[in-house]
Amino acid sequence: MKNLVERARDILQEYVDKEHQGVKSRAASALGLSNITLGQWLNGTRIPNLEALSPVFGKLGVTFSLPS
């Protein structure tokens, strides 16, 4: 089972690929992120925290819940 960071990366990559034909700069702009930040999140050199992911996922209509 993938952890939250791995799943978030998959969701973001799918969004970039499907909604922006793989163009990270357009996806980053639509999500309110810099191109560098999105690229770092996708390649794993930077790990987003929940505060950073929450508004991005909100724009994508994605919700998540943590186990209690």
Mean pLDDT (whole number) for 4-26: 95
In a domain, 33, yes or no: yes
For 25-63, what is each residue's pLDDT tens digit?
Answer: 999 999 999 999 999 999 999 999 888 998 999 999 998
In a domain, 62, yes or no: no
Q: How far from 37 is each of 3, 40, 58, 67, CA to CA, in Å? A: 20, 5, 17, 27
List phi, psi (to 5°) of 20: -130, 20
On whether the pTM is more than 0.75, the answer is: yes
pLDDT of residue 12 exceeding 90, the answer is yes
Q: Is the four-CA dihedral 8, 45, 51, 60 of positive or negative sign?
A: negative
In a domain, 60, yes or no: no
In a domain, 17, yes or no: yes
In a domain, 44, yes or no: yes
In a domain, 61, yes or no: no
Instruction: Tell me how many domains the chain contains.
Output: 1
pLDDT of residue 5: 87
Query: CA 40 to CA 42: how far, in whole Å?
Result: 5
pLDDT of residue 39: 97
